[in-house]
């Protein structure tokens, strides 16, 4: 397959960056690179553009470096929460991947990050907190805190149920019985609580006892008797 030499005018992952001179298949250059304006043929005229391309490349790389540095600082303060299916023993059904982390970053924080920049030595297969390494730029690395939680809420701990009254005792006393069973009926106490009966009015001629200066005096109540008519002479 014939080769041709071209000058890249845009960064192409896996191939090169602006101002790089690379050899590619003639068909690839003719059918893709040139129509998409990603490269130009290597000629004496085009070589004059190399310096301009190098300057543009330096500006782009500086901008990317600054952007990724700021992003690294922001990501280090975040906690990316991922909900997964898991059993009662905390064992996950499946695993959390770099793609899932990238999706949650977009969903939760509106941060677009290529999953290839999320470095996982192996998929996460257990619940808990993790610190994931990020390769944001050839010169910038960072970390992201990831929390894996179960979609099924943990069962609430059983609350202490009321124990039988026989078991709840304080100093040998049955609290339930003391609280709910009234004391024995006391006839005398009930009698004392009854209101006194209204006293009957005193009858005519009844003796009255008055206390005057500590002495008791007895007086007969005065009665009014009708006068007898005078006898006729």
Report helix, strand or coil for 125: strand
Closest CA to 22 of 36, 37, 9: 9
| Contact (CB, 8 A) for 147 and 81 | yes
Q: What is the pLDDT of residues 53-104, one digit of tens each?
A: 999 999 999 999 999 999 999 999 999 999 988 887 767 888 899 999 999 9
More confident of the two residues 198 and 48? 48
Task: Give CA–CA dist 146/80, Å, rounded.
Answer: 5
Q: Is the pLDDT of residue 214 over 50?
A: no
> What pLDDT was estimated at residue 136?
94
Highest average pLDDT, of 90-104, 170-184, 189-203, comes from 90-104
| Contact (CB, 8 A) for 7 and 43 | no
Query: How is the chain split into domains, by residue range?
Result: 3-66, 76-150
What CATH number labels 76-150? Answer: 3.10.430.100
Q: What is the DSSP letter of 210?
A: E
Which CATH fold topology does 3-66 show? Ribosomal Protein L9; domain 1 (3.40.5)
């Amino acid at each position: 397959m014939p080769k041709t030499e071209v000058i890249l005018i845009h960064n192409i992952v896996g191939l090169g960056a602006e101002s790089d001179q690379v050899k590619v298949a003639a068909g690839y250059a003719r059918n893709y690179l040139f129509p998409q304006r990603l490269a130009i043929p290597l000629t004496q005229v085009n070589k004059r553009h190399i310096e301009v391309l190098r300057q543009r490349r330096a500006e782009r790389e500086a901008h990317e470096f600054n952007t990724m540095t700021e992003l690294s600082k922001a990501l280090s303060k975040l906690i990316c929460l991922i909900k997964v299916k898991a059993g009662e023993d905390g064992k996950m059904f499946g695993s959390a991947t770099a793609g899932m982390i990238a999706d949650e970053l977009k969903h939760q924080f509106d941060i677009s990050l290529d999953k290839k920049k999320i470095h996982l030595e192996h998929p996460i297969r257990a619940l808990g907190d993790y610190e994931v390494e990020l390769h944001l730029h050839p010169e910038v690395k960072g970390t992201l805190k990831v929390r894996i939680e179960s979609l099924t809420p943990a069962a609430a701990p059983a609350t202490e149920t009321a124990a039988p009254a026989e078991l709840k005792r304080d100093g040998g006393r049955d609290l339930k019985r003391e609280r709910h069973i009234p004391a024995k009926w006391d006839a005398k106490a009930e009698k004392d609580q009854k209101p006194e009966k209204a006293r009957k009015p005193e009858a005519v001629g009844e003796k009255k006892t008055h206390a005057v200066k500590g002495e008791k005096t007895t007086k007969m109540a005065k009665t009014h008797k009708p006068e007898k008519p005078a006898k006729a002479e």
